[in-house]
Structure 1
Amino acid sequence: MSHTPTPPTPQGNAATPKPTLAGVRVRQRKGAAKATAKLDPEGFRDSLLLHLALVPEPPTVSALVDKLLAAGATLELLKYYEQLFEVLFIGGLLQPGGSYLDDKRSPVYVLQPASEHDAPTDGGEVFNPVTGMVETLKRVMQRFKYLQKPLEENFLPDILGYLPKWEPAQRAKFAEAVALLIVEVGISPKCLLTLTRDHVVKDNVSLNFLTAFAKTYLSKQNMDHLGLTFRRSGLKDIALTVPHQTRSRKQVEDHFKAEGLPQVAEWYTKMAMNESKEDLVQNIVRMINDEEPVDQILEQLQTGQAEKPVPDTDMVDWIWQALMKSFDWSARPDQIDAAMVQHITTYAPLLEAFANGAKAEVTLINAVQVYCYTDTRLLKTFPHILKVLYNKDCVSDQAIIYWHQKGAKPNGKQHFLKMTEAMVKFLEEQDSDEE
């Protein structure tokens, strides 16, 4: 009787057990072991406090730096960055909601009452918890560079959300620390965006924090530098730190003037005006391109002026810029002069409505002069534009004569004065005849 052989089991089949070595433990890589280890925030805090407990009294920056560098050699600072910064800034661990987890405190931290360190240091000065800790962090982060990113991207934006739970004096201290970290350590100012959250804005918490921040910042840098920091932070409008019910441009200006920061108020006014200018110019260009009737465009401008008043000198300048942006420059070079005159003639009522008074009229003439000097295609067109503005009652004869005698801008001044000599002479003779 024939016997059919059983086919061999394929290699790797589940039926075949893999060989094992009894009693051998596979070692895990050190990095993998750390990554999978259970978080122990309180254990890290306790170990860190043991290092800080060795800082002498009164503390010094050098002693603090030495102890933190020593702690970094044995503790996982990056893994427990949140607990590290809570100890150094707040003094202890926080639980969700912002209250302290327990009574354990660091011997030195940013929000520490100054009276706790009233003894002078070796240099003869009392240790300042704010400036001392900022200098300490600066030196420590020069050694452990990996700590800066979690500080500026995670810790500070989150911790600023707890400002309403702190006392005013603590907020002021933290504002000072954040300003110094940005100016002297070079951290990103994006944490300031937290100040626009509704619960932080309430009760002027954000506004007062920003005020203390600005005072410290301006003690180290100028207003232009601070303005650049505001833009880099994403905080495009500092009015967002004012409670909704009182939020206005005037409220912002009055607040900073009252706080002894007129340069902030002036900077804000300028920024707000620039924003208004961009919006107005864009709206006029859009309406002209959509071929909306001139009277409808003027009605919208007057409505906007009633809601948010803008000086007439600015209005005529902005309207002029909008007219230039909306002009069709595709015409042949020899036809641009006539096309521009027609364009200004059509939309002159927009200028006439806001050219109220000699100052606004001279401002308008100068705006035309500077533009014609900048765009050489209009160098020869200037007297024709000026004539249209005069005929359409946008500018008076007295404004033109004043501009010609002593009000012209230096941009191509002699060229434009010579081109308008005949017109000015005519206006002067006309005035003489009327007298």
Structure 2
Amino acid sequence: MIFVGTCGLEFSLSTAVTPRKSFEADNENCDVVIGQARQCVLHDHDFEAITNKLIQAGSSLDYLKYADALFEIILAGGLIQPGGSYVDDGVPLSPFSILQAKHPASVDDLKNYVQVLNKLIRRYKYLQKPLEEQSLPTLLQYINRWSSDQRDKFAVTVGLLISQGIVSATCLQTLAKDHLVKNDTSITVLAIIFRAYLADLSMEHLATSLKRGNIKDLLIFFPPNRRDGKLLDDFFRKENIPQVADWYTKRQQVLAKETIVSELKDLCAHEESTENIISSVHSKLEENPLPDTELIQCLWQGLMASVDWSTRTDQIEGLALREIGRFAPVLEAFSKSPKVEVALINAVQVHCYDDTRIMKAFVPMLKVLYNKDCVSDQAIIYWHQKGSKPQGRQYFLKATEALVKFLQEQEDSEDEE
């Protein structure tokens, strides 16, 4: 192959499985390619020429058979033996490899190397799978043995390979191995990979790549005693990629909401007491905290989802009022501020807008919440003046005019006294 300056590579890989005449023929082809490619490398890293030689070599060499060796040489400069050290065969490391890129590691410089791989794999599509499933995971598991400079170059390359769609993020699962997680090796490498990816693409794009790569939780890359959302948030902000921290926080909040909604449905279905429901919610919040305004909307959704709404149309309004009265103590326990109260009113507004059967029950529902101390008169007035949601706004504002006027007059009367 082109990168070691000797055909011994072909011999060592094929002796066990290839007849003598076959691998000798391969070696002769290999020698020719080596000589041509070395000329390309020596001429100031002519990436286009190297790419062409690699593609030409694939017509005579069995790249699929030697895919692991091919990629180890391009990525690491030589063959890697179990344990992570280079094979001691007396062959010098290749002058063309990722680890021979400019120092310090640069996205712009390493894009040239990645482009070589990209063009090679586009020509020989069967090479994509061994790169993703074998070569990258193998090299990543030994990354703790490399110098910081080598680690940086390789991590940037992995980030670019994933961002350009050459491989999926599945290879990153290797970084969850215990020997890499300890001493922060995994998260340090992961931060470099993410930074390279985000140099050209958005966090939303990266999130999609992680999902497709079955990377479900970034905490698995942290040491067990540091698997905490706050520590993760701080780490990625210090690494100057706050978008990763923001995305993770939002994602955890979504998961927390789904968990609470599901839990509420189960608790209500089993007719648990108000005290047990409130205690369960607090327990979930300890695991995954939520902003108060997000929580109150989540509680409303969960409680309403537990109701069987398959009743007669002329009875559904009465059902809604009864259920709200039953659930009011739970909502009241978490309505801690005017801002949360407005968020609750908005949750009711959107719910009534989505379920047109109970649109006319909006004002009676609001009155129940007011009488049960879930929302205050100030919250209702503020909501009416400038806090409402766009969904059905004109209808709901018109419907609540009389209630708001009453509350304002009541407030004015109390002020006069």
Partners in 2 of 1:282 and 1:370 — Cα distance?
Answer: 20
Identity of matched residues, %: 44
Residue 209 of structure 2 is matched in structure 1 by 229
Partners in 1 of 2:55 and 2:354 — Cα distance?
Answer: 60
Counterpart residue type for residue 289 of structure 1: A
Shift of 1:54: 3.3
Counterpart residue type for residue 250 of structure 1: K
Shift of 1:129: 6.6
Partners in 1 of 2:102 and 2:169 — Cα distance?
Answer: 26
Please give the secondary structure, in 1, of the residue aligned with 2:315. helix
Structure number with the bigger relative contact order (C-alpha 8 A, sep ≥ 6) is 2
Counterpart residue type for residue 413 of structure 2: D
- Pick closer, same or farther for the CA change 1:292–1:350 going to 2, 3 Å: same
Partners in 2 of 1:240 and 1:360 — Cα distance?
Answer: 34
Name the one with the larger helix percent.
2
Shift of 1:59: 1.6
Q: Is 1:106 the counterpart of 2:86 in the alignment?
A: no
- Which sections of structure 1, spanning at least 5 residues, go unmatched? 1-32, 117-125
Shift of 1:186: 3.3
Shift of 1:109: 0.2
Contact 1:60 1:127 in 2 (8 A): no
Alignment of 1:174-213 (within 5 A): 174-213=154-193
Q: CA RMSD in A?
A: 2.7
Partners in 1 of 2:200 and 2:83 — Cα distance?
Answer: 34
Residue 70 of structure 1 is matched in structure 2 by 56
Residue 3 of structure 2 is matched in structure 1 by none
Q: Is 1:83 the counterpart of 2:63 in the alignment?
A: no
Residue 11 of structure 2 is matched in structure 1 by none
Residue 159 of structure 1 is matched in structure 2 by 139
Alignment of 1:400-419 (within 5 A): 400-419=380-399
Q: Is 1:61 the counterpart of 2:67 in the alignment?
A: no
State the TM-score, normalized to the length of structure 2.
0.88
Counterpart residue type for residue 58 of structure 1: D
Residue 172 of structure 1 is matched in structure 2 by 152
Larger mean CA deviation between 294-303 and 75-84 belongs to 294-303
Partners in 1 of 2:274 and 2:191 — Cα distance?
Answer: 45
- Which sections of structure 2, spanning at least 5 residues, go unmatched? 1-13
- Pick closer, same or farther for the CA change 1:244–1:305 going to 2, 3 Å: same
State the TM-score, normalized to the length of structure 1.
0.85
Shift of 1:87: 0.6
Shift of 1:46: 7.0
Contact 1:92 1:101 in 2 (8 A): yes
Counterpart residue type for residue 54 of structure 1: Q
- Pick closer, same or farther for the CA change 1:337–1:432 going to 2, 3 Å: same
Partners in 1 of 2:169 and 2:206 — Cα distance?
Answer: 10
Shift of 1:304: 3.2
Residue 387 of structure 1 is matched in structure 2 by 367
Partners in 1 of 2:155 and 2:103 — Cα distance?
Answer: 19
- Pick closer, same or farther for the CA change 1:137–1:45 going to 2, 3 Å: farther
Residue-by-residue CA offset, 1:20-77 (whole Å, 9 max, x unaligned): xxxxxxxxxxxxx999526989969975655532323312111211221232122111
Q: Is 1:423 the counterpart of 2:383 in the alignment?
A: no
Partners in 1 of 2:324 and 2:113 — Cα distance?
Answer: 63
Shift of 1:251: 0.8
Q: Is 1:139 the counterpart of 2:119 in the alignment?
A: yes
Residue 52 of structure 1 is matched in structure 2 by 37
Contact 2:324 2:368 in 1 (8 A): yes
